[in-house]
Amino acid sequence: MKKPTCEDSYLLKKRDLKNDYFSLTFQNYPRAGECAPGHFVHVQLPSTDIFFRRPMSVASASAKDDQLEIIFKVFGRGTRLMGKLRESDRVNILGPLGVPFAFPGKDEHLIMIAGGVGFPPLLYLATQLVNAGFDPKKIEFFYGGKSSDDIIEVPRIRDTGVNFHPVTEDGSLGQTGLVTAPAEQFINSHNGDQLRIFGCGPEGMLRATNDLGVRLGIPGQISLEAPMPCGIGICLGCVVPLTKGGHARVCCEGPVFEIGEVVL
């Protein structure tokens, strides 16, 4: 991949997805064709005193239209300002950044485990795989949240044709409990298949997903969330320990790591 660059783009479309979730689609982004599932970009907030950019996973990208989409939830001041952007606003984007997911073999049965705002890169991955000819019925998309308010873009997920498994802690949608429990049940009932895990979500969910893969001997990858003030490996604000010793920068050597590679 070429070195990341800073590009001025314009907000083409803004969607309020409910419960403080937003989708922003930017136009005139010339690096869209280089974006892959698992990549992230650094978004600069315009006309504010907030110095650091905000790292955002790529939810979709179109090389044909030079468009880039991100999906996020408002958690603090920076994301609140992003949620107030208006269509036609100019935003500077640094990217694409990081290491993306590796595409699996077509004979593998995929277990995608998403939690909270960790679902966009997995939705992007599932969409890209299906568009490339991967059988959607060999993709199990487990998506967990505290309640149904945290499970967004359901029609869009279903439109990919994957097997969709919503899981909520309060039982308001799908199975009740934590998302890794039904994923493990599925794995145990398909132990003769060639399985592979992909995970993205909050730290606790990723720890459980990583432990699940290690314990059951299922290969795969997880995408980490971490503070990334610079996004290019200089500040060392996102360093994580490796199981073999040493450390890695989530923004450069990640955010995608192999199951069992990182100490969580």
15 with 129, same domain: the answer is: no
Same-domain check for residues 165 and 230:
yes
The residues with which 164 forms a beta bridge, in sequence order, are 141
Residue 102 belongs to some domain of the structure: no
In this structure, the answer to whether residues 33 and 92 fall within a common structural domain is: yes
Q: Is pLDDT at 1 greater than 70 in this prediction? A: no
Indicate if 129 and 179 belong to the same structural domain. yes
The 10 Å CB-count burial string (b at 16+, else e) for 32-71 is beebbbbbbbbbbbeeeeeebbbbbbbbbbeeeebbbbbb
Within this chain, do residues 119 and 223 fall inside the same structural domain, yes or no?
A: yes
114 lies in some domain: yes
Both 29 and 146 in one domain: the answer is no
Q: Does 47 score more than 90 pLDDT?
A: no
Q: Which of 64, 97, 130 is the last residue of a domain?
A: 97
**pTM (predicted TM-score):** 0.96
Considering the chain, what percentage of its residues have pLDDT values greater than 70? 99
The answer as to whether 104 is a domain residue is no
- Given this model, what pLDDT does residue 50 score? 81
Dist CA 2 CA 39 (whole Å): 13
Question: Same structural domain for residues 126 and 83?
Answer: no
203 inside domain = yes
What confidence tier does 135 reach under pLDDT thresholds 50, 70, 90? Answer: very high
- The CATH number covering residue 177 comes to 3.40.50.80
Last residue of a domain, one of 52, 75, 97: 97
Nearest to 217 by CA among 241, 231, 196: 196
Query: Which domain range does residue 45 map to?
Result: 5-97
Q: Is residue 264 part of a domain?
A: no
Give the pLDDT confidence of 176-206 residue by residue, as tens digits.
Answer: 999 999 999 999 999 889 999 999 999 999 9
| Residue 230 falls inside a structural domain | yes
Same domain, 128 and 238: yes
Bond from prior residue into 30 cis (ω within 30 degrees of 0): no
117 and 241 share a domain? Answer: yes
Per-residue pLDDT tens for 50-107? Answer: 888 999 999 999 999 999 999 999 998 889 999 999 999 999 999 999 999 999 999 9
Task: Determine, yes or no, domain membership for 263.
Answer: no
Do 140 and 173 reside in the same domain of the chain?
Answer: yes
Residue 188 vs residues 125, 142, 196, 206, 207: alpha-carbon distances, Å: 24, 15, 13, 19, 19
Q: Which of 33, 64, 97 is the last residue of a domain?
A: 97
Task: Please check whether residues 160 and 231 belong to one and the same domain.
Answer: yes
Q: How many domains, the chain?
A: 2
The CATH number of the domain holding residue 46 is: 2.40.30.10
Q: Is residue 64 located within the same domain as residue 150?
A: no
